[in-house]
Amino acid sequence: MVSSKTLEIVKTTLFLGTFLCFCSFLYFVSVILNVFFSTPHVREIARYVFFVHMLFNDSLHLFVSLFLLMAFLYLIYMPAPFCYFILTLATSTFRVTPYNLAAMALERYIAICFPLRHVELCTVQKTNVAIALIWVVGLIPNVADLIVMASSLKTNFLTLYVICNREALTFNKLQFTIVTIVYIASLALVGLIIIYTYIRVMLVAWKVGSGKSSAFKAAKTILLHGAQLLLYMVSLVSSFTLTSFSDYSFLVSIVSFLLFMCLPRFLSPFIYGIRDEVFRKRIRSLCGTGAVSQQL
């Protein structure tokens, strides 16, 4: 058996490492947001609007998840209503990101397969409407969960203090059923959209025949979205991993958080911040010396 002092040292080290990774992510996000808001024409392009929305959503999700992880590791009790609000933020932002990936894949599909209609279909106004719909769809399961939970609430719910996790606020088996069905159906639908758009875009790319064509670049971007989605799918089984290794639940929690919560979201700035030509040029300017301020 590992001593409690050693476990505490490992816990603190891993948590600090997680916090530093989160700070690095926020720094890189802030650089990209600086590029987005300081470049007028970028704000008028649908895929960049979707991308920045995903960055905001992922940042919020990571912040809330880090808070929940800390509460779990250090056994912090909090009011049940506040815990439910935090869990609503965590679950809804978790669902919104795959939906956003599907929207981004569809935008690339329209741009490559229907280029003449892209300007008409992918305006900033319609992009904002799509984002609003994404949030509505993302919050519907939480509304359903609240309705089911309300029918089984304990009389002392408003004064109840809990260690904030999903199990603490599950008062009806139907709640677990709703969560499971929604996650499986959502990720399956998003997966089908990404597969379909990837195949259609690749067919266009093969017809063009140039490895440097916009169609091939779009196909690679959609493929990376698929890799992100795969990591989100793996995160669904991480809860079963926790129960299998209950003696090392804190260690497994942090590793699971880093691999399945952080890594897919760290890929987002990489996909557009490094691969995209517009962002790459501006980031080089921001990270350069000398005439950076003049270039901005």
Residue 8 CB neighbour total at 10 angstroms: 11
Evaluate whether 29 touches 228 at the Cβ level (below 8 Å): no
Distance CA 246, CA 295 (A): 54
Provide the mean pLDDT of the chain: 81
Query: Cβ neighbours of residue 290 under 8 Å, at least 6 residues apart?
Result: none
Residues 6+ apart with CB under 8 A from 176: 170
pLDDT tens digits, one per residue of 3-56? 667 767 777 777 787 778 788 888 888 888 888 888 888 888 998 999 999 999
CA-to-CA distance for 156 and 153, rounded, in angstroms? 8
Backbone angles phi, psi at 4, to 5 degrees: -65, -30
Q: 115-168: per-residue pLDDT in tens?
A: 889 989 999 999 999 999 999 999 999 999 999 988 888 778 888 899 888 888
Give the other-Cβ count within 10 Å of 281's Cβ: 13
Can you give the pTM of this predicted structure? 0.84
- For 234-243, how does the pLDDT look when each residue is reduced to its tens digit (9 = 90+)? 766 555 555 5
Specify the pLDDT at position 9. Answer: 76
> What's the CATH architecture for 4-276?
Up-down Bundle (1.20)
Is the pLDDT reported for residue 289 higher than 50? Answer: no
* Whether the predicted pLDDT of 110 surpasses 90: yes
Per-domain residue ranges of the chain:
4-276
What does residue 163 show for φ and ψ, rounded to 5 degrees? -80, 120
| Tokens describing residue 64 | 């809330």
Q: Which tens digits make up the pLDDT trace of 62-82?
A: 899 888 888 887 788 999 999
